[in-house]
A and B are shown apart, each in its own frame.
Chain A
Amino acid sequence: MSDNKKVRMTYYPGCSSQGSARHLDESLRAVLPEMGVEIDDIADWNCCGASVGHIGGGQLPNLSLTGRNLAKARERGTQDVITGCAACYLNTHGGNEKIKADVKKKAQVNEALAAGDLKYDGDLKVRHVCEVLVNDVGVDKIKDRVKNPLTGLKVAGYVGCQTVRPFAQTQAGGEYDSYDDPNFLDDFTEACGATAVPFQNKTSCCGGSVAVMSPDRTLHLIKNILEEAKEAGADVISTPCPLCQTNVEMYQDQINAKYGTDYKIPVVFYSQLMAVAFGMDGDKDAALQRNTNASDKLDKLAKRGG
């Protein structure tokens, strides 16, 4: 994307934007326009169904959730739909591809949508914000916007699973980075002037929804992530995924209790780092106040007011 070119996209915030991942939503809304991505929310968007919707509600009702979101998004035209949430992306993109590829499914979804006076033809493209940043914006442009480099901040880039495993359902092949050893998050970190530490667990699972419903089964997974981040000397863990951010952050006390450790590692979104690096407001734009484990180092780097 040339330097000052702007692009409009339809934004799907997802349910966590109103809860556990408000800081992702807030920081994205701050930094995206800085990088030339103007966003319009899907009007009256709904839940994506996440990874359990089809179990609770069935395959077609679950797919219809996506159908409704895309039908509403289509009202804004054919501009690309983007989301910052891994699960929202996985479901919406996957559902979209299914609707495109499967004539029968498409008809069934539209039959359901008709009950709400909606329809969707399968002519949208659903994308992840990170992919847009890599392919459309480009790391160089991110670098250009940095006014407040995060010099000295050591960041473990924890990509998580679903952000880079978007095409699981459709088999269309990866588009912006590898499934197992992606580099984009480290590239973002370095673009912001911080230091990316080596982190082999970058795509190890945090436990996902199982961690939410049954932490005992998965605490060791999070512990592994924390352990390596600590050994690597990371000041913060950066992640693009709402559920990863929440799981890795909120279970640290329980892990410490179970394993006798003393983790208190801040887990932030890459977009928060960008907001700080762009010299934007640490609270209003970077939403640092929403992290339960605050990073003193990052807080100090952040500008306030202005």
Chain B
Amino acid sequence: MPVDGKEAGPASQTILVVGGGIAGISAALEAAETGHDVVLLEKGPSLGGRVSKLNRYFPKLCHPTCGLEINYQRIRKNPRLKVLTMCEPTNVAGSRGAFTVTVKRHPRFVNEKCTSCGDCAAATETMVPNPFNYGLDKVKAAYLPNEHAMPMRYVIAPEAIAEGEGDKLKAACKYGAVEPEQQEETFDLNVGAIIWATGWQPYDPNNLDVYSYSHSPDIITNVEMERLAAHDGPTQGKIVRPSNGEPAKKVALIQCAGSRDNNHLAYCSRICCLGSLKHAAYVREQYADAEVDIYYIDIRAHDKLESFYQKVKADPQVRFVKSKPGHIRVGEDGRPFIHGERTIDREVYDEPYDLIVLATGMQPSAVAGYTPQVGLVKDDYGFVVPKELEDNEGIFSCGVAAGPLDVSLSVQSATAAALKAVQAVRQSA
């Protein structure tokens, strides 16, 4: 397969998928399982993207690793699909059947000989904020991205190299897998079609200064809540106050923390209501005497997800407060207080909580990253959509790169994008 593109002719049959999250994985697999050569680029050290950092999915409260495992099995079995981690595109040129994509490969400092034995982790003394846990804890600078990593291979943070541990780590590896000398490198891929599945990043809570995120460790974001509740998170799944480790029994979930707000994200991120319903369930599952307040504008539980809303609502210890809070202040005892107006009875409240979760929205990764100029357009929010719907330009987007979608909708859009890409290479064959 022309991974390095050297032997590819003018009409390449290879499909490139950019982004190894659930959308990218799905698109890549659907195309590969239809008999096409696919290259999947992931800029991080492991596939799985945002969903791999989720504790569970709504509404079934099942674990994302469950579906990822099946997808990873599919990847393992499929020789047509080539996964390149630590890679991101920096330029796209050409057109359908003949795209040239410039790819930057970040150094992993670990090569494919890695057996994931962990000797390098034992050897390093450098600690870095754990990216898998959004920096809520620290991890050895030579680390497995997570216990379910794909590929199951270690990565060494540049900090360890900067600390001068390169030679030591190299010596610690019995398999010749550590390469401290790795540099960032660039190479070209020739592909026939491209699927852009670069996903999203959580909206920066520091932009929401009224919610005092930086002023209290007990004010966290929804994605951090997922880690807090996850068995492989910083607390092994115990939902506690980050400030003191005490159980978080009075919890507030603030919806539209950034979304539906002209000052931040003008669109609705679609998933946050359901995510918070799920967070209410996390808390209630752990503590019989827990109380959860959900501050919201509209509860957007579309289609059958309505039933998830109804069943969470049936719990009398979950209160739904229709109110966009004005601000959060930290009280004398360090507990954060939420201040605002309950719109239903017009009461002004000033309520203390053990833990406040800001349901920050999804921002397309394209706001910060590279977006091809050919074939795609970026809308005002940073979502990327194909330029023309009628003509098959050979480049498509899917998942949250294309719009704020939940997992099912992302996979739906990924499957559709895979078909478009298949059409593109078949038509230019």
Q: Decide if A181 touches B329 in the complex (CB within 8 Å).
A: no
Residue contact A180 to B329, C-beta cutoff 8 Å = no
A178–B329 CA distance with the chains assembled, in angstroms: 16
Query: Is residue A169 contacting chain B, with contact meaning CB distance below 8 A?
Result: no
**Cβ contacts under 8 Å, A181 to chain B:** 209-210, 212
Q: Which of B311-340 contact A (CB under 8 A)?
A: 327, 329-330
B interface, how many residues as a size bin?
A: under 10
Contact in complex: A200, B209 (CB < 8 Å): no
Contact A178 B209 (CB under 8 A): yes
- Please count how many residues in chain A sit with their CB below 8 Å of the partner chain's CB atoms: 5
Q: Is the CB of B330 within 8 A of A200?
A: yes
Q: State in angstroms the CA–CA spacing of A178 and B204 once bound together.
A: 15
| 10 nearest A-B pairs in the assembled complex, by CB-CB distance | A181-B209, A180-B210, A180-B209, A178-B209, A200-B329, A180-B327, A200-B330, A179-B209, A181-B210, A181-B212
- Nearest-neighbour CB distance to chain A for B350, whole angstroms, equals 12
> How many pairs, one residue from A and one from B, have CB atoms within 8 Å of each other in the complex?
10
B266 to chain A, nearest CB (A): 13
Which of A178, A179, A181 has the largest count of B CB atoms less than 10 A from its CB?
A181
The complex places the Cα of A180 from the Cα of B210 at a distance, in Å, of 6
Set of chain B residues within 8 Å of A200, measured between Cβ atoms: 329-330
Given A180-B327, A181-B209, 8 more pairs with CB closer than 8 A: A178-B209, A179-B209, A180-B209, A180-B210, A181-B210, A181-B212, A200-B329, A200-B330
Within A144-182, which residues are at the interface with B (CB < 8 Å)? Answer: 178-181
Which residues of B are at the interface with A, using a C-beta cutoff of 8 A?
209-210, 212, 327, 329-330
List, in ascending order, chain A residues with CB within 8 A of B210's CB: 180-181
Q: Which residue of A lies closest to B209 (CB)?
A: A181
| Chain B residues closer than 8 Å to A178, beta-carbon distance | 209
**A46 vs B56: C-alpha distance in the bound complex, in angstroms?**
63
In the assembled complex, the CB of B332 is this many whole angstroms from the nearest CB of chain A, namely: 8
Query: In residues 212-242 of chain A, which contact B (Cβ within 8 Å)?
Result: none
Contacts of B330 in A (CB 8 A): 200
CB closest chain-A residue, reference B329: A200
Nearest-neighbor residue (CB-CB) of A182 within chain B: B209
Q: Give Cα distance in the complex from A72 to B209, angstroms.
A: 39
Contacting residues, chain A, for B327 (C-beta < 8 A): 180
For A180, what are the chain B residues with a Cβ–Cβ distance below 8 Å? Answer: 209-210, 327
Q: List 10 A-B contacts (CB under 8 A).
A: A178-B209, A179-B209, A180-B209, A180-B210, A180-B327, A181-B209, A181-B210, A181-B212, A200-B329, A200-B330
Nearest A-chain residue to B326, judged by Cβ: A180
In whole Å, how far is A72's beta carbon from the nearest beta carbon of chain B? 35
In the bound assembly, the distance between CA atoms of A232 and B212 in angstroms comes to: 18
> Within the assembled complex, what's the spacing in Å between the Cα atoms of A52 and B150?
65
A181 to B329, CA, bound (A): 11
Least CB separation from B262: chain A residue:
A171
Shortest distance in angstroms between B323's beta carbon and chain A's nearest beta carbon? 18
CB closest residue in chain A, given B212: A181
A181 to B212, CA, bound (A): 9
